[in-house]
Structure 1
Amino acid sequence: MPEGNHSTVTEFILTGFPGLHPEYHGLASAVLFFVYFLTLTGNATILFLFATDHSLHKPMYYIILNLCACDILFSTTTLPKIISKYWFQSGTISFTACFVQMYFVHYLGTVNSFILFLMALDRYLAICHPLRYPLLLKDSTIHILSVTAWVVAKAGPLMSVIRAYPLPYCASNIINHCYCDHIGITMLACTDRTPYGRPAFAVAMVALLGPLAFVIFSYCCIIINVLKIANSQSRLKTLSTCSAQLIIITLYYLPRCFVYLASNVGITFSADARIVIIMLYSLFPPMINPLIYCLRAKDMRESLWKKFSRSAIALVSTTSF
């Protein structure tokens, strides 16, 4: 069959969690909806604080702003469809829509990785080069780097979609996943996927391991600089300035590296276990990140408390009349 012919497949079916008993479908949809609601509410709160509090207009918070936008978009790309599968028994997705979803899944994942690179760069310059930090990382510099991250991240996922879309899909149309991704789709092609899978894997590794290499380098330099500080209290205070970013970076990279490493050393998972792990490292960080910002970032915590206090005072004033 010619590679341009995929007329026999007009839609795909997302299985979600294959081993999940039908009686738990309602619970699964409720949990996923709760995760989506918390993700939207938490990240929207951060965006609101940033928009209404000028004191947060600093390089570090501009980076967090980008991460919030990316987290909202990623969750919106992946969760509504799988929620509708369990809520309304609507697990089908059109051929083109599946590829659109695949593009945004990989694109936003790449953007996320680049933003974490910017986080590590921010803390590296702030701690290792504090005197030059205001000159090297101005607001305008962060804007340029952020826009560059969003633009450059388009190339790899777009190439993967362009190469995968014309493949002949003439066999099964069942994707064992909660959303469309490159592996899940190309595994269904009636042709050897190696020429298409390897370049996509290489691009994914560059997008993941490139920023990770700098993250490791930057935090090694930060630790070395912190250890040079004689006062233990000052040492802890310096480390606390990058604790939030370090937690976020760990939540993003550690599970992904574990899954990639496990697959290469022969550790296998059941289909359900693999999907659960992927969903956890894909959806848990966007949900928990706003909580980390508000608990660990002093300016963000103070801004949230001011908004809460003003709202409480206004409510008391209104009810007293």
Structure 2
Amino acid sequence: MMHTPVSALSVGCCCRCRSERGVRNGCLWGISSCLSCDHHPRPWTHTGSQGNVRYMQETPLSLSVRHLLSYSMSDSNSTDFTNPSTFILLGIPGLEAAHVWISIPFCVIYAIATLGNFTILFIVKTELSLHGPMYYFLCMLAVTDLVLSTSILPKMLSIFWFNSREINFSACLTQMYFILSFTAIQSGVLVAMALDRYVAICDPLRHSTILTNPMVAKIGLAMVLRGAMLVLPIPLLARRWPYCRTNIISHTYCEHIAVVKLACADISVSSYYSLSVAFFVIGQDVVFIAMSYTQILRAIFSLPTKDARLKTFGTCGSHLCVILSSYIPALFSFLTHRFGHNVPQHLHILMANMYLLVPPMLNPIIYGVRTQQIRDRLLQPFTHKGT
């Protein structure tokens, strides 16, 4: 009896499907049932060459590997696909045994970021004395931090805790878009905050007339539109590429380059465009912030007394700390990704997660500790109890 060749990557079949259809149909074995006949099988594996087939029961370790491979193959005769229905996120390759332990600090980071940013929003909303440009921009930063951390953490924790690695193709591109666009929006909000500090220190008499509420709203809308429009072509380009290699992503989320590298096409357009957007957005923002603080420092050092200089510098100290906590991890991750070819892959992935998750945790802490109005409002319930 002639049989069609079995793929180099053995594919498991259930007993019933094997006995009824043999190797010729190339049935797939899933985690709970045979994908070809929906039968709950005992797992077996085809080995051997054409005309010589034998069956071997799999071990638990091989089952988890086979589960991933079953999503990257269609049947024994065809492995090409152009529009995958799902991608498989591996998490942190090489550290699978420690996924549960790694999830603990990430859970703490997410809890602090969520609680801290919602607290900032609540305090600014309820305290009338904080209704000003600086705190409006701080609320915008808190919203971007919440969206960024929520775009990543829930799916990452489902991988670590429940081994839920599948993500829909459209959901993957949506996650990619939210991460990239809100990263650009976050950078734009930092520029707006630098503008607020520049006007407050260098031209304090005109601060209330320049940064009015309508102007603050226009600046915020401009930052949102810039990030949303510049990033939009990136997932649209990723959608049009044909994917015929595999659908397994060695990452905890749908990172852009990790996704488009799976395409069997020339992806130079995607690479060049995403790199151009990164340099345009981040480069432009860093230059503008540097120019603003150059003028701010000149104005501070021109003050007559040391106490006046320290007091004035303290008004922008929180913003400087937020800038450093946002750009330094991102710069470090970018440099290790581009030039750290000897750095292990799991360190690249950990850094890519940290530069997106650490700033949302640190920003409310920095402003809560260094801004007297927010600190007083936070301590108000405790000070009233003590009196």
The normalised TM-score by structure 2 is 0.76
Structure 1 CA distance, aligned partners of 2:184 and 2:338?
A: 21
Residue in 1 aligned with 2:174? 100
Residue in 1 aligned with 2:313? 239
Residue in 1 aligned with 2:5? none
Aligned counterpart in structure 2 of residue 140 of structure 1, from 186, 189, 214: 214
| Contact residue 226 and residue 239 of structure 1 kept, 8 A | yes
Give the 3-state SS of the residue equivalent to 2:167 in structure 1: strand
Higher normalized helix content (fraction of residues):
1
Equivalent residue runs for 1:22-61 within 5 Å: 22=97, 24-61=98-135
Give the 3-state SS of the residue equivalent to 1:12 in structure 2: strand
Residue in 2 aligned with 1:11? 86
2:231 pairs with 1:157: yes
One-letter amino acid of the structure 2 residue matched with residue 293 of structure 1: Y
Structure 1 gaps, min length 5: 317-321
Structure 1 CA distance, aligned partners of 2:296 and 2:341?
A: 34
Residue in 2 aligned with 1:319? none
Give the 3-state SS of the residue equivalent to 1:78 in structure 2: helix
Larger RCO, structures 1/2 (Cα 8 Å, 6+ apart): 1
Give the 3-state SS of the residue equivalent to 1:67 in structure 2: helix
Structure 2 gaps, min length 5: 1-80
Residue in 1 aligned with 2:199? 125
Instruction: State the shift of 1:200 in Å.
Output: 1.5
Instruction: State the shift of 1:139 in Å.
Output: 2.1
1:286/1:236 CA distance change after superposition, 3 Å: same
Aligned counterpart in structure 2 of residue 299 of structure 1, from 366, 373, 377: 373
One-letter amino acid of the structure 1 residue matched with residue 251 of structure 2: H
Could you give the per-residue CA deviations for residues 166-204 of structure 1, whole angstroms, max 9, x where no partner exists? Answer: 100111212122211211111111111112210121012
Residue in 2 aligned with 1:207? 281
Instruction: State the shift of 1:299 in Å.
Output: 1.2
Structure 2 CA distance, aligned partners of 1:257 and 1:266?
A: 13
Instruction: State the shift of 1:307 in Å.
Output: 4.2
Instruction: State the shift of 1:252 in Å.
Output: 0.8
Could you give the per-residue CA deviations for residues 114-136 of structure 1, whole angstroms, max 9, x where no partner exists? Answer: 00010111111111111221211
Structure 1 CA distance, aligned partners of 2:128 and 2:103?
A: 38
| Contact residue 87 and residue 247 of structure 2 kept, 8 A | yes
Residue in 1 aligned with 2:164? 90
Structure 2 CA distance, aligned partners of 1:86 and 1:291?
A: 27
2:329 pairs with 1:255: yes
Identity of aligned residues (%): 35
Deviation above 6 Å: which 4+ runs of structure 1?
none
Structure 1 CA distance, aligned partners of 2:290 and 2:338?
A: 22
Structure 2 CA distance, aligned partners of 1:251 and 1:73?
A: 18
| Contact residue 262 and residue 268 of structure 1 kept, 8 A | no
Instruction: State the shift of 1:233 in Å.
Output: 0.9
Give the 3-state SS of the residue equivalent to 1:234 in structure 2: helix
Structure 2 CA distance, aligned partners of 1:262 and 1:181?
A: 15
> Which structure has the larger Rg?
2
